[in-house]
A and B are shown apart, each in its own frame.
Chain A
Amino acid sequence: MTPEARDGRGLDLLLAAVRSPQRLVAMSPPEWGALIPSAEEARLLPRLASDAQRMGLTSGLPDWTRGRLTSALVRGQEFERAVKWEIDRVHRALLPAGLRPVFLKGAAYIAAGLPCGVGRVVADVDILVPEAELPRAQVALQQHGWEFEPLEPYDERYYREWMHELPPMRNRDRGTMLDVHHRILPKTGRIHPPTERLLEEAREVSGISVLSPEHMVLHAAAHLFQDGEVAGALRDVVDLRDLIEQFGQDPAFESRLVAEAKVLGLGRPLFYAVRYARLAGCTIDFAGVGPWKPSAPLLAGMDHLVEQTLTRPDTTSGSLGAFALYTRSHWLKMPVGLLLRHVTRKATRNFWS
């Protein structure tokens, strides 16, 4: 991490703006100067730019602030346009083959017009198909210009045998990335949410299939803190906050959510998701997740890790926190022997290359 990256002030301001967009109203020019790089790094600048525009703030800002925000806003609109086009192209490849994929995460949030789709930075499109249909989906996509990236045999095996998705596919013409999942968590993990249930409950929204609201929250919860980066962590928390606040307006949502968490075996991740969405200013608390509360020492430990990771990545404890959460996410994915093998392999490869 560079000295500049240890910008605690920018991160404090980002957290404040994420918790309450109203904070943007009183932001001074030097504060904008500290906030913008941190927000960019957290992939949240297009979102903040959109909040600022909605509140009519942009016209009163210095030209340089307005320039950066407008640039981010335009980029956010491009993500939206590109994702919708990508969905159209995926449909063109798969629908004639009788396959109707369920779109996950960013693509689903954007296409379904959810609040967390606004200014959402999307690196790849994720789809879910039944495992039995994977070969047909792969062939149909390959016929329409998607190709596998060249992989080392180890990586090939990592994806095919242990993971919950095909190796990433890149579209030859557009360079866009597509992840084809057949599960929402890896085969090797300790939790196996049944894909059939997710597919059965999927909804049609704006012409595409997406997970049911309950499953959308549970999927986001299962993936919280997965990439072990502060950047990803805060955006994940913002996604969860938006989903919970949106769907939680329906009084019957909580009981359905809790019931589905039981069916999928995702009670504990849901508990954490509800708890840590509050860090992003989530005002809804689901008492129904109480039974999944971990023991007091474990919870205190998790609180500490998450707090340090999100707010103090500049400190040693913050980086250790991120590393611990990253390790934990792998812990959920793989048994310990495999985890050790995988981490060793990754570490030695990075070391030598």
Chain B
Amino acid sequence: MTVGDLSDAELCGLLRAQRFTLRVGPFLVRLRSVMSEVQAALALLYRAHEIDTEADGAHFVIRLDHPGLVRRFFRAQAQLTFDLRQPFIPLPASMAAPMLEAGLNWCIGNYAHQFLVIHSATLERGGRALLMPAPPGSGKSTLCAALVTRGWRLLSDEFALVDPTTGILVPVPRPIALKEGSIDVIARWAPDAVFGPSVVNNEDETVAYMQPPARSVRDSGLTCRAGWIVVPQYVAGADATTTPMTRARALMHLADNSFNYNFHGRVGFDRLVAIADQAPSVTLRYSRLDEGVDAVDRLAQTGAP
């Protein structure tokens, strides 16, 4: 059963009764909330995700609710609780979706060290994965959103989850976070794309989430191996150019964008080396989305930069 199969009343009931357990890639996420904003965000952005009402527990147990009675009725706020912690300050209730996404990112970044976790948009085509490791602000989510509307399968716009011993990449498809101008760019690029409401976040940026393709969510059990590494750099006005990276540079780039390769010691280091060895790597400077997408497609077709 998927979230889309539930009526509003059923979704609301499960969320209130702490029986709403979502399958998000390799993770079970149990959510509890009385907030209509949370229900709306889930119904829209997690429509294709499976739920497991019989689960006997979850990797991440999250509550997203008003911090108190006052903040339920007066300038309503939301606060996120994970385990026994409240990692974020309460924010306006309208920001429920960004809080949920930030909360999940925080959980995966801090409590999923069974994986080697790399800060990277990750997509798949022809059984091989494209990694776009980059810090926030480099345009990786924008390019990722554009690629998933052109036949690429979404593994994640935020994380590459690598099994440290086998090197297998595990999909964790979730809504794609777009900021500021990227929202309109993608809305024009893919008129059929479904977006949640645009809200202004804590850093005064407008954020909107794009619904992940249903096929990517359904296929989240299909794992693959690294095939290409593309480091995107949005440069205003630039023509799309790809420049090959040495394996050493690619390795350093993976390490810089990894949350925890050091946690895995020798195994983690060797795994990053193996990925840099097997996946041709380029930097991609671009400003116009169609050129960027074409450049990635060409790379994937030729198999080499």
Contacts and interface: CB of A to CB of B under 8 A. Distances in A.
B81 A2 contact: yes
A74 B84 contact: no
B263 interface: yes
Contacts of B57: 29-30, 32-33, 62, 64-65
Q: Say what secondary structure dominates the interface of chain B.
A: loop
5 closest A-B pairs by CB: A37-B83, A29-B56, A74-B113, A70-B114, A78-B263
A38 interface: yes
Interface string A31-65: 01100111011000000000000000000001111
A40 B86 CA distance: 14
B28 interface: yes
Contacts of A62: 56-57
Interface in A213-256: none
Q: Say what secondary structure dominates the interface of chain A.
A: helix
B81 A74 contact: no
Interface stretch (B9-17, B58-66, B144-152): B58-66
Which residue among A4, A41, A81 has the maximum number of chain B CB atoms within 10 Å of its CB?
Answer: A4
B262 interface: yes
A4 B63 contact: yes
B83 to A, nearest CB: 4
Contacts of A63: 26, 28
A29 B262 CA distance: 31
Contact of B83 (A29, A41, A71, A74): A41
Given A4-B81, A74-B113, A68 B59 contact: yes
Interface residues of B, number: 24
Nearest to B32: A4
Contacts of A194: none
B265 interface: yes
Interface in B14-71: 26-28, 55-59, 61, 63
Interface residues of A, number: 29
Given A62-B57, A64-B57, A37 B114 contact: no
Given A2-B81, A4-B63, A67-B26, A77 B263 contact: yes
B61 A68 contact: no
A12 interface: no
Interface of A: 2, 4-5, 7, 10, 29-30, 32-33, 36-38, 40-41, 62-68, 70-72, 74-75, 77-78, 81
Contacts of B265: 77-78, 81
A290 B112 CA distance: 47
Nearest to B58: A64
Contacts of A81: 262, 265
Given A63-B28, A65-B57, A67-B112, 19 more contacts: A2-B84, A4-B63, A4-B83, A7-B84, A29-B57, A36-B83, A38-B84, A40-B83, A40-B84, A41-B83, A41-B84, A63-B26, A70-B113, A71-B114, A74-B263, A77-B265, A78-B113, A78-B262, A78-B263
B111 interface: yes
Given A29-B57, A33-B61, A68-B59, A75 B84 contact: no
A66 B59 CA distance: 9
A68 B111 contact: yes
